[in-house]
Every structure is written in C-alpha cells, then in structure tokens.
Structure 1
C-alpha cells in the first residue's frame, strides 16, 4: 500500500513538473501575441523618452509585434512606475525606468511601490555619468582649480540641480561630503532652466547630463571639467574623472527596462532577448552616442544589483545631508 501511494505521488509530481515545463514552453512560444506597452514616466521629448523610443522599432522587429511608448508623467516618475506595478504581470506592460523612480525617490518619500519587491528587472539600456560643468567665465579651468577655489569660497559658491531629491542634487551633496566642500544647493525645475541659469552666470557649477548640456557646451557658454563615473569614459575620453582628485567618488545614471513582479520566467527571458537585440543595433548605439550616453545592455541580475547599490549609496547621502521630500 505504501509503495502504491509513493508511486502515485511520484507520478503526480512528474505530471505537475511536465505541465509546468509545457506551460513555460508555451509562454515562450506564444509570447507576444499582442502589442506591448513601454511606459515612460516622464514627458515626451525628454532624455528618458528619447532613449525609450530609440529601442522601440528594433524591439518590434525582434518580437514581431507593435511596441507602443506611452508617457505617464507626474510625482517624479512615481505615477507611471506605479501604473506598471499595478498592471497584469504578463509581459505586455513594461516601464522604461531610471535611477530616479526606481532607486532614489522611494528613499526620500513614501511611494506606492517598492522598487525591489514590486518590479522585475529585464535589462539595462544605457548608462551615463553626470558632468561637473561651470559657467564659461568661471576662473576654474580644471577640476584641480575648481576644488581649490571652491574650498576657499565656501558657501558663497553654489551648485545647481534639476530639482530637490534628483540625482544631480544628491551627486552635488555627495561631492560636498567627499571633497570637503560647502557648495550651496540651488534647485531648478528641470534641465532647461538649470542650463539657462548656469550659462547666465547665476550658478558657479552644476552636475548635468551630456544631453542637457550639449547645446550650451557647443556654444561655449558652459565648460565641462570632469565626469562623475569611476574612470574616464569613451563618451567623454578627454574629461578626467572626479575620482582622480577625489578618490572613491562615483555617480552614474542608468536607464533600463523593468516588468511587474510575477512575469513568467519564459516571458521575461524573451523580453530580455528583445532589449539586448535592440541595444545592440548599430543605429541605436549611434543615436545614444550622439546624445552622449553609452548603449549598455545587461543581465537582469546586473540591473537588480545596480538598483540595490544605488539605494545603499544614495540612502546614506540623503541621511547625511538630511534630504527628504514631503
């Protein structure tokens, strides 16, 4: 009797495993069978939106289904991100995330989602350092000059950011702490007003993206001094890394695709393959380079680790500098 029961149990378990394998294979074979939405939690035309739309057509080619980019703005990216968290975990709704709503924002205020528990990383799409930029008439001609002058000037020198709690804000406070400076933070509502203020001389410095600063830098209205990546980059090979003068300093922005937690493994794998294919297209790399970001795909595990690392780094900075959003 015992042998019969064990045999029956083993047969049932084998049947369940076979059914699960068949289900996964079926999901891989049939997905996708309808259009896929990629939610960008920022306004159309911005840097995040431009990068998302760059991978749109290559993903369509790989998946053989329409890929629709949809903008859902508000609350620093939280509204669009939450809409994806609350969607069905079937792989048909994704978010084009970045270090803001997917790592930093939940550290500074309560968000209706947990970036680690509620989202499944698919792949990184691009990475970029921020750039320490100064107004064209700033007497600092190099990073070494800037550090020396800023230490003498104390809080009479300032730095601008694209807003309270942004990566550019946290990077500036991190720079203060690591370099022993006391630059005063001046927040702006986005990259455009920040660049206008920097170019006009209202600011001594700012941590900006290459995309935000490109026009002003090419016009000679602002000057780049250094990048925030741990080492020099192929996008800005002539710019020193801040870490060359401030050992250990690093701040890197990333962009990536994430799905709701609960998406089947086979579907997540198909999406990963599609994103990697898209990021690897020469036309996508060319477009990214022109916008001064580096095309970079990754494993889901690498993106998950980047999120955890960001939360650890920026959580400590926010606590040290008493940064929070009401």
Structure 2
C-alpha cells in the first residue's frame, strides 16, 4: 500500500511523464503509415501525380504512404473525409482546386470549408482547353464562336462535372463572347474525350492532358488554351489571352491536413514535399504526365491559389447564376 508521500510524488511525476511522452511522440513523427485521401477515382493525371508524390514521400519519411481513392459527390466525399480526420498527421487530403475553391461557392452546405484545413504544399497545375472534333468545320476559336452564334440554341459543350473548373471556364468564354452554354456532363473526361474524337460531341471544355494525343493525331482540334503564353508542348495552339479573351484558368492540386494538426508536423510535411518536388526524379515523373506542371508552393501559395480561384470563378458563378444542391 502506497504511503501519502508516495502518492504525492506519483501525482507530481505523472504529468511530467505524460508531457515527455507526448513530446517524444511528436519528435518521432511519423512512426506509422500515412494515408492520403484522393477524392477522385484511380487513373488520370491527378491520381498519377498523387501516386508519384506518395512514392517519393514514403522514401523520404521512412514509412508507407498509402493512396486512398474516395471519389464521388463532386469531390465532397473524399475531401470531407480528409478534413474531418483526426488531426495527427497520419491522414492527409489531396487538394483539388474544384474541391477547395469552387465547392464552397456552389453548395449551400458542405462538410468542410477552405479554412477547415491546414494547407501543406501546392504540387502542380494543368491548363484547360476548348476543343472540337477533328472533322469539325471550324479550325479556329473565332470560326467556332461564329458558328455557335449563328445557331438558335446554346453551345453544347462536354464537361467532366457541373460547376467544375472546365465548365466554369466555358461559361466565362460564353459570357465574354456572347453565347449561352449547355453543359453536357460526363462521368469523367475520358468518356467525353472519346465521344469528341468520334464526332459524337460538338465541343468540349477539358484538361489539356486528356486531349493532347487526340489533337496530335488529328482526331480533335484544340482551339485555345488557358495558359498565359503558348506551350512548347503544343505550340500550334493559341492562348485565350492571345485571341482577345482574358482567360487564364488553371487546375491545381496539393496536399492538406485536417485543421488542428500540430504546426511541427505541418512544417515537417511541407518541407519534405517541397524538397521532393525539387528533385530531378520527381520532375521526371511529372514530365511523363502530359501538361502537369510543377508549382512547389508553400501553404501561403495554396491560400493565394484558393483566393484567386474564388475571385475569378466567383464572378462567373454569380453572373451566370450557377449553383448545386447537396
């Protein structure tokens, strides 16, 4: 049986032991596998980028880094799951511009908000394009817009999601050029690209990576791209800016942690990821994915990207009265 002196001593020492244990646990992070929840299906440029990062991150941190694909709900399911995970650094989220920037503007309620996460690092960006079938009469954006405006109805344009970046870019072009848009929504860009190449879809707004090879072999014609200047990857395609439309939309991705994750863990992950993105090996992996351009941005860069998206797309959403219901 413990004496009063022993009990008092134990009461004094126990908090010190707990404090030391917690500090030690933080110091040895990570000590078990890390999961990155990706809010899209496996396959495609975004998923490939996440897997390329996970491969190098597990080498750098010395623990397995697992990709957990949770698609659905316009990216809400996966992003919400990551944002609401325990803030211990072992569950991270793959940030998509549409999920963090646009969904909060489109939905009345969401299981997360842009301020509900700890931004870790921006990884890469891709550009968006307007394309038509290879056998279309129009060879330029000007010719296509003229054809659209001659018709009685709106322009039917294939998109991968209603309210996504490619849809909103098409709406922006329509607003500036003076035509209405009828979004034809597909379950992903791959089936939309196939229908466009087959001539079953009159036009498409999409990511360059998904249309580049079709363009190179003449099955589709990319009419304009949202980059600020022409890309060496596809030098024959003019920019929207070059053609008189101030459209410079990008689709970016990165990594975030749940709100409340210790600052030391966020800093450790941010440093590790940014070092990885600078390596020739990682850049070579990105180079193998068409039109995936590295950013290597800090948490502040991610916040700036979200703000820029909301400023740009928010105007379109308000002017064209676009909304989504949960």
For 1:91, the equivalent position in structure 2 comes to: 89
For 1:62, the equivalent position in structure 2 comes to: 60
Q: In structure 2, what is the Cα distance between the partners aligned to 1:270 and 1:306?
A: 22
Structure 1: which 5+ residue stretches go unaligned? 1-19
Which structure 2 residues correspond to residues 193-272 of structure 1 after superposition, within 5 A? 193-272=191-270
Match of 2:132 among 131, 134, 153: 134
Q: In structure 1, what is the Cα distance between the partners aligned to 2:105 and 2:65?
A: 31
**1:125/1:296 contact within 8 Å kept:** yes
Deviation at 1:237, TM superposition (A): 4.1
1:119/1:244 CA distance change after superposition, 3 Å: same
**1:154/1:181 contact within 8 Å kept:** no
Deviation at 1:156, TM superposition (A): 5.7
| Structure 1 vs Structure 2 CA RMSD | 2.4
For 1:75, the equivalent position in structure 2 comes to: 73
TM-score by length of 2: 0.85
Which structure 2 residues correspond to residues 309-320 of structure 1 after superposition, within 5 A? 309-320=308-319
1:307/1:149 CA distance change after superposition, 3 Å: same
TM-score by length of 1: 0.85
1:111/1:69 CA distance change after superposition, 3 Å: farther
**2:33/2:90 contact within 8 Å kept:** yes
For 2:31, the equivalent position in structure 1 comes to: 33
Q: In structure 2, what is the Cα distance between the partners aligned to 1:23 and 1:266?
A: 16
**1:235/1:289 contact within 8 Å kept:** no
Matched pairs, number? 306
Q: In structure 1, what is the Cα distance between the partners aligned to 2:183 and 2:78?
A: 28
**2:40/2:70 contact within 8 Å kept:** yes
For 1:163, the equivalent position in structure 2 comes to: 161
1:178/1:64 CA distance change after superposition, 3 Å: same
Q: Secondary structure at the match of 1:55?
A: helix
Determine if the alignment matches structure 1 residue 303 to structure 2 residue 302. Answer: yes
**1:27/1:266 contact within 8 Å kept:** no
Q: In structure 2, what is the Cα distance between the partners aligned to 1:88 and 1:23?
A: 19
For 2:103, the equivalent position in structure 1 comes to: 105
1:261/1:154 CA distance change after superposition, 3 Å: farther
For 1:7, the equivalent position in structure 2 comes to: none
Bigger Cα displacement from structure 2, 307-316 vs 106-115: 106-115
Q: Deviations over 1:261-306 (max 9, x none)?
A: 1122211111011211222232322232232211221011011111
Q: In structure 1, what is the Cα distance between the partners aligned to 2:193 and 2:157?
A: 12
For 1:279, the equivalent position in structure 2 comes to: 277
Q: Deviations over 1:113-132 (max 9, x none)?
A: 34322111111111011122
Q: Secondary structure at the match of 1:271?
A: helix
Structure 2: which 5+ residue stretches go unaligned? 1-18
Q: Secondary structure at the match of 1:243?
A: coil
**1:134/1:198 contact within 8 Å kept:** yes
Q: Deviations over 1:171-201 (max 9, x none)?
A: 1001111222334332222112211221222
**2:80/2:112 contact within 8 Å kept:** no
Q: In structure 2, what is the Cα distance between the partners aligned to 1:52 and 1:72?
A: 13
Q: In structure 1, what is the Cα distance between the partners aligned to 2:25 and 2:145?
A: 56
Q: Secondary structure at the match of 1:139?
A: coil
